[in-house]
Amino acid sequence: MLNLRDTNIIADAELKASGFLPTLLGVIRVWIHPGTVVVSDRWRVYNTLKEEGFQHLSVNQSINFVNPTDSKVHTQNIERTWRDVRRGLSRYGRRAEHFVGYLTDIFLKRRFALGEQVHEFCLAAAVLYPLPS
């Protein structure tokens, strides 16, 4: 009979074998600066973040939605963001190469009032694609 420790070892081995763990850590290394405070749930994949140079705080979401010892440690903001992203993405006709554009659209709509969205988009485009001098 397997005990909890054995099942954790098996689950970790399966994550590594699936390639998911190295992929997730690779994405984190590319997009998050070392030393950044990362707040997550207690999914085992995140256990290596401290070894990777990140500050890792977690919330046991099966018990609390906010860390009882520090109310600033929660995942509610990112959970809400992902809910908005999922709601904002069309279920049909999505193309992988347009995903950055889909996210940009969603975040522009979240951050700016309706009358400001086009203006802010143009400002961002001007920075990304300056006119030749």
DSSP sequence for 87-122: HHS-SSS--GGGHHHHHHHHHHHHHS-HHHHHHHHH
- Residue 62 pLDDT exceeds 70: yes
Q: What is the mean pLDDT of residues 81-99?
A: 81
- Residue 112 pLDDT exceeds 60: yes
What pLDDT was estimated at residue 25?
78
Find where tokens 């970790």 sit: 12
Q: From the CA atom positions of the chain, what is the Rg in Å? A: 19
* Helix (H/G/I), strand (E/B), else coil: 69: coil
Instruction: List beta partners, residue 39.
Output: 57
Phi and psi, residue 122, nearest 5°: -65, -40
Alpha helices, DSSP H only, in the chain?
4-18, 20-31, 76-88, 99-111, 114-128
- Residue 1: pLDDT band (50, 70, 90) is very low
For 59, counting Cβ atoms within 10 Å of its Cβ (0-12 exposed, 13-18 middle, 19+ buried), the class is buried
pLDDT tens, 2-50?
Answer: 333 444 444 444 445 555 556 777 878 888 888 888 888 777 778 888 8
- Counting residues of the chain whose pLDDT is more than 70, the rounded percentage is 83
